[in-house]
Amino acid sequence: MELKICHLFPDVLNLYGDRGNVVCMQKRLGWRGIDVSVTGISIGQKLKASDYDLFFIGGGQDFEQEVLLEDLKGEKTREIKAAVNDGKTFLAICGGYQMLGSYYKTWDGQQCDFIGALDLYTVGHKDRMIGNYMFTCDELGGQTVVGFENHSGKTYLGSGLRPIGKVLSGYGNNGEDGMEGARFNNVFCTYSHGCLLPKNPVLADHILKTALAHKYGTAELAPLDDTIETNAHRYMENRLRK
Ligand code: GLN
């Protein structure tokens, strides 16, 4: 078995160590003897989405998102939309999450028309939503996910999308409706930056299984010793429950 990971804009969208999620997926596959390759595709590089099984898009500030607008026009947008509709697996974080939606209006009034692969939009506010936070993951039986958020954008989901889960502590999508993230086909979007997957190993494996099942029909992952990862998860969970 093999998973081919495409890391979109690795040099532009990489806030708070978002790339660590790619390293985590690589390691968790490698430890199980599953082959994995990671290809970075950035500005000016051709994207042939059918070459890959799993796409990762990290976060970026408003400036970086504006820089990408020109490159996203046309072919890259078509390829990303086709991959979403074909059921390819995506993990998109914060700015990358916003970019899969239809538009982002920054807090100072810049209109960024994005990919439009998902029925969602984002409006920036002057007050940022910052801090460690926690939410449930519906499809993991309501298990908790711990993360870190830092965004000015408030994201609103259209009727065809469901959230990843409910916010238990912090802001999530917009600080208003109690929802966090977005799910559509095999796309996972979240505001949670940095070491999301290392400290949420159950979610990491769920995403990997999604990609493997789409490619091979079934996916079983051998258990790993996640003592350290689970301790990190529990520590943050306890801190955020107080
Ligand atoms: N620029 C976006 C915002 O502030 C995304 C920020 C991020 O990716 N951390 O909402």
Active-site positions read: 94, 193
* Predicted pLDDT of residue 184: 98
Pocket test for ligand 1, best of 61, 100, 171 (most atoms within 8 A of CB): 61
Residue in 20, 105, 16 with CA at minimum distance from that of residue 56: 20
* Predicted pLDDT of residue 242: 78
* Predicted pLDDT of residue 111: 93
Within the chain, which residues score under 50 in pLDDT? none
Ligand 1 shell residues, CB under 6 Å: 15, 59-62, 65, 94-95, 98, 124, 150-153
CA dihedral 189, 169, 28, 186 (to 10 degrees): -20
List the CATH code of the domain at 2-241: 3.40.50.880
pLDDT in tens, 38-61: 999 999 999 999 999 999 999 999
Q: How far is the CA of 2 from the centre of ligand 1 (A)?
A: 32
pLDDT in tens, 144-169: 999 999 999 999 999 999 999 999 99
* Predicted pLDDT of residue 79: 98
- What pTM does this model have? 0.97
Per-domain residue ranges of the chain: 2-241
